[in-house]
Structure 1
């Protein structure tokens, strides 16, 4: 029979009782003389589990009782027990390990029970706190307080709404008063101009009358006196009627009569061709240039004087943009958070603003020199005609601007040109000029282009530029301004956050046609 091996036999030290048993088992070579079955049974019962004890008892009975009681069998049984000694020692070590594990488990159980007791104490404390909270909480009082706060909020909202309406009404009244004052000032200026012109003509006529001889010009003198009386009557009638604009056709007839008197007097400095040029001119500025030539100035001097209009247009565009954007910034953003600007913000908007003013100057010079379809008639068209010209110019510019804007959002132009303008996701005043110079040049070309394509009166063009400039600044100001079915400043603000929508400026009609509109059109 092979001797079994156990790894734990040498690892755990023998206890006193086990050492005593081992000494008893190994004391003599003749085990049958000293080791009785009863002793073996007691040792195994003390050291091994019951199942192993039963197995070992059966084994011992087999070797001791069931075989012949001779010396050889006894010695064989002793040898068998010695062969299982190491197995028994390993089993004893295993039993000790299990006992130690049982002790550890009991300690863990005790710690868990202690933790459970602590948790139970905490739960009891929280239950006491909840009971105290529920006993002190008055639900009806809380509901009454909430209702009171809601009522106060409703009252505050109503008060704010009333104040906003009052402010809007006062603003409307102030705007109406401002318009009335401006109209009165314009009327007074026109009255003053008409009075000065008529006084000058009267003085010239008096000088002509003094130069005539009484011999052959009595009839002409009477005619001149009658004409002077008519002019005085016209001046008096004009002053009584307070007409905002003089009747240029009637005054032109007076000038013609004056020049006829000059021809009768033999004045060679005034030619009939110059008079015909004044009468047949379709542009008011050309009429002014011819008049300047008639009073003794050269054509170069007249051309330089006409360039004053271009310089004035440059200053109006440059200063108008700065003043209006500054007002929006002071009114709406003076006390707000600081808007972080780009490093190149100042230089880029300055360059684009100068370029916009230069466009205005060049286009104005082209207009006054008759190189466009701009009309400078002295008599203004009807307000219906002016409105039609303004709306037509805005719709045309809107049409071209929509497709140009869509082209800017192509991959090639967006990454190289238009991405600069989309640097600000929430624009503030002065951010509309933050764009690539190529984009700015194309935009200003579209903006100033209508008078070169459509016949427009100068008054219509001025109104068109005012409205387009106002909408352009409002689009990038962050200030909500809405005209149902016409215009909304939030549409372009949405375009800066959602780049694939709201391409049109200033109207959203082409976005509605092409399905790129994102906003409240009729709200």
Structure 2
């Protein structure tokens, strides 16, 4: 990146960063969309969380908003790099500094910090005075698709990305750990907006796996908006009693493919 900035200039570096973020988003979102919404659409209809499908115009708007998000995320990425160049971060490049054990642990630490930040930030932006100016765009997708993952207002994109500079200022992290964290985060984001549920019915009863959020969990948030605020884990929703009261019933209805699938939430 330093080579790119020194040889092409800051504008070119920004354009490259934005392109990387947007292409990565299209890859993670486009593949599941192509398979689930085009190629296998009829064969897996029973796995749909909502029976109907979003209109093509809504999907186009999601991609449009996601490009704006890519601009913000690309800019944040360059800010992180600038902080590192000036020695203001905890980023390290030598694995021997902390060892492979800590390397793996640091990814989990980032996920836990991000999950906590996301839960409380998410509840704040649902406040009536903030929802319309920050979070409304994302909730225009009441029946989300994989492309909803980055469909934010510019203000929300900034708020969403703000946790990354915070993390690298306080947690020693390797660039590869950051890269893996970014990809796990995007994968979870796409999964939450998938529109389908492929997990087995026993998943939310497993003593460990039940703490991981499902596609149904976040899809219900898009339908109702006043519950299911978590991102990766169900710790905070459980602790704060903000899981939707019909979450388990809806999940079982889809995963067991029974008539209760159409329950009103």
* TM-score bucket (shorter structure): 0.7 to 0.9
Q: Does 1:304 align with 2:6?
A: yes
TM-score of the superposed pair, with normalisation by structure 2: 0.72
Cross-structure match for 1:339? 54
Alignment of 1:240-319 (within 5 A): 304=6, 314-319=18-23
Q: Does 1:392 align with 2:109?
A: yes
RMSD after superposition:
3.2
| Per-residue Cα deviation, 1:105-158 (whole angstroms, up to 9, x for no partner) | xxxxxxxxxxxxxxxxxxxxxxxxxxxxxxxxxxxxxxxxxxxxxxxxxxxxxx
**Higher RCO (CA-CA < 8 Å; seq separation 6+):** 2
The structural deviation recorded for 1:369 is: 3.8
The structural deviation recorded for 1:338 is: 6.1
Q: Does 1:431 align with 2:151?
A: no
Q: Does 1:416 align with 2:118?
A: no
Moved over 6 A (4+): 305-308
Structure 2 residue corresponding to 1:376, chosen from 90, 93, 99: 93
Aligned length: 224
* Greater gyration radius: 1
Structure 2 segments unaligned to the other structure (5+ residues): 42-51, 204-208, 253-265
- 2:180 & 2:242 partners in 1: Cα distance? 29
| Per-residue Cα deviation, 1:357-379 (whole angstroms, up to 9, x for no partner) | 22223213322442211111154
Cross-structure match for 2:228? 502
CA contact (8 A) 1:313 1:360 kept: yes
Cross-structure match for 1:352? 69
| Per-residue Cα deviation, 1:67-107 (whole angstroms, up to 9, x for no partner) | xxxxxxxxxxxxxxxxxxxxxxxxxxxxxxxxxxxxxxxxx
The structural deviation recorded for 1:501 is: 0.9
- 1:376 & 1:424 partners in 2: Cα distance? 40
Cross-structure match for 1:321? 25
- 1:491 & 1:373 partners in 2: Cα distance? 34
CA contact (8 A) 1:313 1:364 kept: no
Cross-structure match for 2:174? 457
CA contact (8 A) 1:495 1:503 kept: yes
- 1:491 & 1:430 partners in 2: Cα distance? 17
- 1:479 & 1:450 partners in 2: Cα distance? 32
- 2:62 & 2:141 partners in 1: Cα distance? 11
